[in-house]
Amino acid sequence: MASISSLHSLTLELPPSCIEFVPGHRDLFVVGTYYLDRSADEDSGEVAEDTEKKSQQRSGSLLLFQLDGDEPKLIRTLPTPFAVFDLHFTPPAHGDPALLGAASSTGSLALYRVSRTQHPEIQHLRTLQLFPQNSLITFFAWHPRTPLLAGLALADGSAHLCALPSPDDPATDADPDPEAFTPCLAPLLAHDLEAWFLTFAPAGTALYTGGDDSALKFRSLPDPSTPPAAQWQDRRIHAAGVTAILPLAGPNLLLTGSYDDRVRLLRVPDPSGSRGGGVRRPVVLAEADLGGGVWRLKDITPEAAAGGEQREFVVLASCMHAGARVLRLRASSPDEGEEWQFEVLASFEEHQSMNYGSDVQPLASGEEGGQRTVVSTSFYDRLLCVWKW
């Protein structure tokens, strides 16, 4: 395992909670920040623990950065009247890759667009008040195929599907009355404690959620407008809250991260409901202790290694107090049976507090491998670091 040193680092004004590179502009990335007013509350201010404070106590910002070589330069700062818990650009099927959603501490989803005519810009389009203002959206995910359909996880344990209006439609107030504007379906899944994570199956036909109650839950979605057809849950595999879920490009393979410091590879029931050669409940195929709570997981396998039935994956893990890890997950040869193993390829441990957000710079057109550039952040020390592996 290689121990990595940073190429550049800088201290931000506010604690960073999430980060993502801009699709189509590989030198640009956006950081979301989270600030708890300590004069109003002397509690920790930690993203993963502070989900019961009043919404008025939080604020944040969106920061647009540009990588000049390997040096991060702050281009734009947009203050927000809420803390930013999570942010994501829309997937390719939505046809608007520069559209960014930011989940807030006040029950809203704010929409932005990053543009690049002469200079990089980030523009606020509208803020959709999806839930009461005392609601905390802990995570959200865009549907992989249906434009402007999103799944949202809340601190009250619920998970919802929301059909959003056009971000460019001027007909609706940018900050509508939540009683008059209710695009969200009733909760599809519910956890006993905070719902920390939500993701769709790759085909968009199912929803997985993880919660502070150590539960991993599943619900199939035959059609977003009709009631779900099947569901299951598991409370035995994880010894603490489920904080990350990553479907892999394999036959019903799922990576999970947890507060119990472990990353796990699971074989899960087929989202379509078919049992031919599958399993009836989640089965652990491999696991590894990463030394810190596994808050986020991202598949960064080079495209050249993808395709067919993949038997090797490269994953970037944000491991809270343990820093960031680059993992390789590899299966034995088909004639040796199904045996999977994790290997830590690299660790980055310069962060002195919680590593909640990390992302890898997209490869340039035509690139198939070589060194990758990673930007990782940490919360209390407000540190942003650039490193390679």
Looking at residue 43, its pLDDT comes to 47
Binning pLDDT at 50, 70 and 90, where does residue 184 land? confident
Tokens of 335: 């004639």
- Number of domains the chain contains: 1
Model confidence at 334: pLDDT above 80: no
The C-alpha angle with vertex 286 and arms to 281 and 288, in degrees rounded to 5, equals 125
Is residue 15 domain-resident?
A: yes
Model confidence at 367: pLDDT above 90: no
Looking at residue 39, its pLDDT comes to 62
Alpha-carbon distance 287 to 317, whole Å? Answer: 14
Model confidence at 355: pLDDT above 80: yes
Cβ 324 vs Cβ 317: under 8 Å: yes
- Could you tell me the CA-to-CA distances from 257 to 140, 167, 366 in Å, in that order? 17, 33, 32
Is residue 64 domain-resident?
A: yes
Is residue 274 domain-resident?
A: yes
Alpha-carbon distance 280 to 270, whole Å? Answer: 9
Most confident of 35-44, 277-286, 298-307: 277-286
Is residue 88 domain-resident?
A: yes
Is residue 174 domain-resident?
A: no
Alpha-carbon distance 225 to 24, whole Å? Answer: 32
- 238 closest CA partner among 266, 200, 218, 279: 266
- 249: exposed, middle or buried (C-beta count within 10 Å: 0-12, 13-18, 19+)? middle
Lowest mean pLDDT among 59-68, 94-103, 178-187, 352-361: 178-187
Instruction: Name residue 95's beta-bridge partners.
Output: none
Looking at residue 179, its pLDDT comes to 46
Is residue 116 domain-resident?
A: yes
Transcribe 286-318 into DSSP letters: EEEE-SS---EEEE---GGG-SSS--EEEEEEE
Is residue 43 domain-resident?
A: no
Model confidence at 55: pLDDT above 50: no
pLDDT, mean of residues 29-37: 95
Looking at per-residue confidence, does 242 or 226 come out higher? 242
Residue 311 maps to which CATH number? 2.130.10.10
Contact residues for 374 (Cβ-Cβ < 8 A; gap 6+): 316, 324, 326, 348, 358, 359, 360, 361, 386, 387, 388, 389
Which range marks the domain in which residue 66 is found? 2-37+57-169+180-388
Is residue 44 domain-resident?
A: no
